[in-house]
Chains A and B, each alone.
Chain A
């Protein structure tokens, strides 16, 4: 399967701090990225999506995309304990197929 690599595997940030998560695809056909958040015992829910070069901001969340390098990053400012979750990056390599990375586990410490 197409590879979606996420880093770091885990991350601990203090409450109020900035969390930065990375994702890269090795498939040049990828044209769309999503970030999903999965709280423990729950199903993944879409957080943000991006398909154009540049930056997109929604509240405390900012996502960047560099299409040339197929790299996207998610930044969470003013992190809250409720942001503690598994963050999954997803990519679309064409059509309706959607593939995922293994995730970054974020822990926000009070």
Chain B
């Protein structure tokens, strides 16, 4: 089973309020990713974990936080949502097999900030 689950699937948030998105996988994958996808744009890599090591992209470093309390779960946290955060957030996981790390995506969490 190559299932990655994301919760919530839809989230409506007020400007200035926090948002927490959850991702889980039961495939014992070492790497988990978060991407932000806006219409007609490339999925933008926000951060990824390899095991417990967090790697955040330089241009989104201060905007997003994350935690990975165990191998199966990974969260994406926005401390104070702005209108520009409205997007689809895609979580993916990948096995560490020495190369060709195919990503397995969840169905996404659609965030609308008003």
- What residues make up the interface of A, taking CB atoms closer than 8 Å to B? 1, 4, 32, 34, 36, 42-46, 49, 51, 88, 90, 92, 95-103
Contact = CB atoms under 8 A, between A and B. Distances in A.
Given A96-B31, A97-B48, A97-B55, A46 B41 contact: no
B99 A98 contact: no
Contacts, number: 60
26 contacts: A1-B44, A1-B57, A1-B59, A4-B42, A32-B99, A34-B103, A43-B90, A43-B105, A43-B106, A43-B107, A44-B43, A44-B105, A46-B102, A95-B50, A96-B31, A96-B48, A96-B94, A96-B96, A96-B101, A98-B33, A98-B101, A98-B103, A99-B45, A100-B35, A100-B42, A102-B41
Contact of A96 (B50, B90, B107, B108): B50
B105 A34 contact: no
A75 B42 CA distance: 21
Contacts of A42: 107
Given A42-B107, A43-B108, A98 B100 contact: no
Nearest to B4: A43
Interface string B70-114: 000000000000000000001000101001111111111000000
A63 to B, nearest CB: 13
B31 A100 contact: no
A70 to B, nearest CB: 16
Contacts of B99: 32, 51
A95 B33 CA distance: 13
Contacts of B94: 96, 98
Contacts of B41: 102
